[in-house]
Chains A and B, each alone.
Chain A
Amino acid sequence: MKGFITLALVLASSLFSHISVAVEQAKEIFKQLAPSLYQIRLIDKASGEKSSIGSGFQISSNGIIATNYHVISGFANHPKKYRIEYLDHLGNKDELTLQSVDVINDLALVKRSTKVDMPFFKLTQQIPMKGQELFSLGNPHDLGMIVVPGTYNGLKKESFNDRIHFTGSVNSGMSGGPVVNVQNEVVGINVATSGNQIGFLVPHEKLVALYKSFQREPPSNIQQQMSEQLSQNQNKLINSLLNSPWKNKVLENAIIPAIDVSYIRCWGDSNADKTNALFFAAVANCSLDENTYLSSRFFTGSIEMEFRYMQAKELSTNKFYRLYEQQIQRAGPNNKAGKEDVSEYQCQHDIVMPSNREINNKSIFCTRGYKKFPQLFDVLFLSASIDKDKQALISHFTISGIEQSPALAFTRKFMESVAWK
């Protein structure tokens, strides 16, 4: 017993000493970097109060500050309603101007006015090693600037646009704050959290790219810039999907496509455990794990595919089809969007048999347009097999923020990849 207690004491003391070293380090970092660290606030002009807060950090001597797009998205969408303000470590406040954004990587550049050259954060030249110690800085919940130590855990797997997996708590309000290595160089920007010590960072090279393009030629119109970024990213994504191998996957008696890319993740379920169900149903659902934030009520850039196989047990064909029909009545978009962002859906339907496949489907196609980004649409496709008395296959996808021709190309490939076994 005594041995145990000693061991515990030794362990505890070593832990404490480790923590105290970290605290020392953190203190030092904070002292050096504090002048270049800001709280970014979005001020509602009418009420004069802040409507949202985040963090930001200076990256040039002439006053360019980096933050998250989602921190200042209110201003980007409604420049008349808000203004952007900074609060520095001494409590000084002043207005900021929006310079450039990267909606895909959730980054924004704002500028403060300065007459003298100011200290700023250096962006790292090298990618950190797995397990390397990092420090996340920011202002969580308006509690004041803090330093959170954590570890670099490589890039998040299965993501189309890279994100760093950071083990450490990133809290709301820390968004837009820098994450530095022990040399005080920025390796990433706080962007999101998955709860319990799992945080996500935008890699520093995205910020480097944004800053370089800004130095080359500042954007003349932020909306235009966003529009181009959205189109470019979605085209890249759809091209990558269309050019990747589409494998035939078996779902009970049906063949469905499985796109061989890491960033589309699939989940499955069935009602095999429910013995009193009138029909057997198995569902496979594949989706992109990320989307693009445009405003708190408007998201885009998502892709989702769903396949549902149904088989009647002891059920008349009429009743089976009635229940089957109920399954396809309420398909909806998988991205949030409101009246000011999108039009209402327009739909068309037909009975379609692909020439290369043995299946006859009732197919429905719906689309709605983006009001601020005229070339972009949300599309929804739903197909229900109608050629078997006691079996049914529903194939369905939704894509948000896509241009017309890639949308149609994807629809064609999707329609021609679903069949009976």
Chain B
Amino acid sequence: MEIIIEEISRDHKLISRHKINKNSIYLGRSYQNDIILPDPHICPEHLHLIFNGENWLIEDQGSINGSYLEDGKTSVRNHMINSGDIFSIGKSLIRIVYTDHPIEETIQLSTFESLINIMRHPLVLTFNIVLFAFVSGYIFYLNKLTETTFSQFLAPAIGMTLIFAIWPAIVALASHFNKHEARIMTQLGISFAFFNLLWISDILDNIINFNFSSSWPVSDLYSLIPMVLAFCLFWLNSSIGFHMGERRQLIVAAGITVLFFGGSYLVKITNKPEFSAMPNYNATIMPPNFMFLPSSDVDEFLLNSEKLFTKVEKEIAKEKKKEE
């Protein structure tokens, strides 16, 4: 009668799998056994599995540390095995299944897989990294108050790119340590593609802040976009680097996003002074060809200014109430 014996790790990951066609199987540390387990806490002759014509029985052979059904308290003696039972012997775990044990349904390759493969392509990867470096350098050039030469903004461009490459490297390293494939190129490809999307979202953010008046709350809504982008990046990172369930993947990606944005938000509120004498206004301006909305007139502007006075009065009244 055929039986499958799997050696699994504590978190139930498969270490090795044996399919044996015998009616009597010995497990232990000595070399006469059918299945040889190297765990020093296992006795040389530890376990015996017998097929009695109907069922498989498991019998501890008087080992020092015993054999237990995963959560069981007493060592197994002539125990009837159900398919999928997990036994702990020494510090190791084994799982026993029959050939008719049900298996999970086939998972379809996700549509992202093709996207991921495109991003990994050397040409696309190089393009994304170069684009990222170019934008970093260009921003450095825009902010510099003096004349700049090409070589002057090469250094910050490369520096910035290397700093941003740390994230995919960390993810790849982490998945390597978790006994998964590192897939560093894929991680780099995906990460830089998203970093570039973040640049684009930055530019869009500027255009919105520049064009819309403060009476439109679009810019507040827009601040969600980088969060969504970051979430997607973290989700893809974990989907490439770690094989986990979909729910778990969502939780992990959401967790990192919250940690990242929540953390920076926390830092912002703790650093906020109790009172600021400086006005906090949005002074985004862009060259004329980025303007796509018609201008308001003075009347409309003054009407909106008038509302501010009422807002300030309300604020003071609220504060007074709080003090009382």
Seen from chain A, the residues whose Cβ lies within 8 Å of a Cβ on chain B are 276, 278, 317-326, 328-333, 337-339, 342-355, 360, 362-369, 371, 374, 377, 380, 382, 384, 386-389, 404, 407-408, 411-412, 415-416
CB distance from A112 to the nearest CB of B (A): 35
Instruction: Decide: A348 and B214 in contact? CB cutoff 8 A.
Output: yes
Q: How far is the CA of A323 from the CA of B139 in the complex (A)?
A: 12
Q: How far is the CA of A408 from the CA of B306 in the complex (A)?
A: 8
Q: Is B215 an interface residue (CB 8 A)?
A: yes
CB distance from A388 to the nearest CB of B (A): 7
Q: Is B15 an interface residue (CB 8 A)?
A: no
Interface string of B205-218 (1 = CB under 8 A from A): 00000110111000
Which of B278, B282, B296 interacts with A345 by CB under 8 Å? B278
10 A/B residue pairs, CB under 8 Å, sorted by A: A319-B141, A333-B279, A345-B280, A349-B213, A351-B293, A352-B298, A360-B295, A374-B313, A382-B281, A412-B302
From 277 to 322 in chain B, residues with beta carbon under 8 angstroms from any chain A beta carbon are 277-288, 291, 293, 295-298, 300-302, 304-309, 311-313, 315-316, 319-320
Instruction: Decide: B277 and A325 in contact? CB cutoff 8 A.
Output: no
Instruction: Decide: A368 and B312 in contact? CB cutoff 8 A.
Output: yes
Q: Is B143 an interface residue (CB 8 A)?
A: yes
Given contacts A350-B296, A352-B301, contact A344 B213 (CB under 8 A): no
Given contacts A319-B141, A321-B287, contact A377 B312 (CB under 8 A): yes
CB distance from B37 to the nearest CB of A (A): 67
Q: How far is the CA of A329 from the CA of B141 in the complex (A)?
A: 19
For chain B, the bracket of interface size reads 35 or more
Which A residues touch B283, using CB under 8 A? 325, 328-329, 349, 362, 364, 382, 384
Instruction: Decide: B298 and A330 in contact? CB cutoff 8 A.
Output: no
Q: Is B274 an interface residue (CB 8 A)?
A: yes
Instruction: Decide: B275 and A338 in contact? CB cutoff 8 A.
Output: yes
Which A residues touch B275, using CB under 8 A? 338-339, 344
Q: Is B16 an interface residue (CB 8 A)?
A: no
CB distance from A318 to the nearest CB of B (A): 6
Instruction: Decide: B309 and A367 in contact? CB cutoff 8 A.
Output: yes
Instruction: Decide: A366 and B313 in contact? CB cutoff 8 A.
Output: no
Interface string of B106-131 (1 = CB under 8 A from A): 00000000000000000000000000
CB distance from B214 to the nearest CB of A (A): 4
CB distance from A18 to the nearest CB of B (A): 51
Which B residues touch A386, using CB under 8 A? 210, 285-288, 291
Instruction: Decide: A353 and B295 in contact? CB cutoff 8 A.
Output: yes
Instruction: Decide: A362 and B285 in contact? CB cutoff 8 A.
Output: yes
Instruction: Decide: A354 and B277 in contact? CB cutoff 8 A.
Output: no
Instruction: Decide: A333 and B277 in contact? CB cutoff 8 A.
Output: yes
Given contacts A276-B147, A348-B213, contact A384 B279 (CB under 8 A): no
Q: How far is the CA of A371 from the CA of B323 in the complex (A)?
A: 12
Q: Is B270 an interface residue (CB 8 A)?
A: no
Q: How far is the CA of A411 from the CA of B291 in the complex (A)?
A: 24
Which of B142, B282, B306 interacts with A322 by CB under 8 Å? B142
Which A residues touch B145, using CB under 8 A? 278, 323
Q: How far is the CA of A365 from the CA of B284 in the complex (A)?
A: 14
Which B residues touch A276, using CB under 8 A? 146-147
Seen from chain B, the residues whose Cβ lies within 8 Å of a Cβ on chain A are 141-143, 145-147, 210-211, 213-215, 274-288, 291, 293, 295-298, 300-302, 304-309, 311-313, 315-316, 319-320
Please name the residue on chain A nearest to B214 by beta carbon: A348
Which B residues touch A339, using CB under 8 A? 274-275
Other than the given A278-B145, A374-B313, A389-B288, 5 more pairs (CB < 8 A) read A325-B283, A333-B279, A351-B295, A365-B308, A377-B312
Q: How far is the CA of A411 from the CA of B278 in the complex (A)?
A: 20
Please name the residue on chain B nearest to A355 by beta carbon: B297
Which A residues touch B298, using CB under 8 A? 352, 354-355, 412, 415-416
Which B residues touch A328, using CB under 8 A? 283, 285
Q: How far is the CA of A64 from the CA of B131 in the complex (A)?
A: 79
Instruction: Decide: B285 and A349 in contact? CB cutoff 8 A.
Output: no
Which A residues touch B277, using CB under 8 A? 332-333, 337-338, 342
Which A residues touch B307, using CB under 8 A? 348
Which B residues touch A342, using CB under 8 A? 277
Instruction: Decide: A388 and B302 in contact? CB cutoff 8 A.
Output: no
Please name the residue on chain B nearest to A392 by beta carbon: B285
Greatest chain B CB density within 10 A among A331, A338, A349, A386 is at: A349
Please name the residue on chain B nearest to A317 by beta carbon: B287
Q: How far is the CA of A201 from the CA of B311 in the complex (A)?
A: 41
Given contacts A344-B276, A350-B213, A351-B291, contact A367 B146 (CB under 8 A): no
Q: How far is the CA of A404 from the CA of B308 in the complex (A)?
A: 10
CB distance from B268 to the nearest CB of A (A): 16
Instruction: Decide: B211 and A369 in contact? CB cutoff 8 A.
Output: no
Which B residues touch A351, using CB under 8 A? 211, 213, 291, 293, 295-296
Instruction: Decide: B304 and A348 in contact? CB cutoff 8 A.
Output: yes
CB distance from B119 to the nearest CB of A (A): 29
Please name the residue on chain B nearest to A322 by beta carbon: B142
Instruction: Decide: A348 and B147 in contact? CB cutoff 8 A.
Output: no
Which B residues touch A322, using CB under 8 A? 142-143
Q: How far is the CA of A347 from the CA of B315 in the complex (A)?
A: 13
Instruction: Decide: B308 and A347 in contact? CB cutoff 8 A.
Output: yes
Instruction: Decide: A369 and B142 in contact? CB cutoff 8 A.
Output: no
Given contacts A317-B287, A362-B285, contact A350 B313 (CB under 8 A): no
Instruction: Decide: B287 and A362 in contact? CB cutoff 8 A.
Output: no
Which B residues touch A345, using CB under 8 A? 276, 278-281
Q: How far is the CA of A367 from the CA of B211 in the complex (A)?
A: 22
Please name the residue on chain B nearest to A329 by beta carbon: B283
Which B residues touch A364, using CB under 8 A? 281-283
CB distance from B319 to the nearest CB of A (A): 7
Instruction: Decide: B214 and A349 in contact? CB cutoff 8 A.
Output: yes
Q: How far is the CA of A112 from the CA of B25 in the complex (A)?
A: 113
Q: How far is the CA of A386 from the CA of B313 in the complex (A)?
A: 32
CB distance from A261 to the nearest CB of B (A): 23
Instruction: Decide: B315 and A325 in contact? CB cutoff 8 A.
Output: no
Given contacts A321-B286, A339-B274, A408-B305, contact A366 B279 (CB under 8 A): yes
Instruction: Decide: B301 and A350 in contact? CB cutoff 8 A.
Output: yes
Which A residues touch B295, using CB under 8 A? 351-353, 360
Q: How far is the CA of A186 from the CA of B301 in the complex (A)?
A: 51
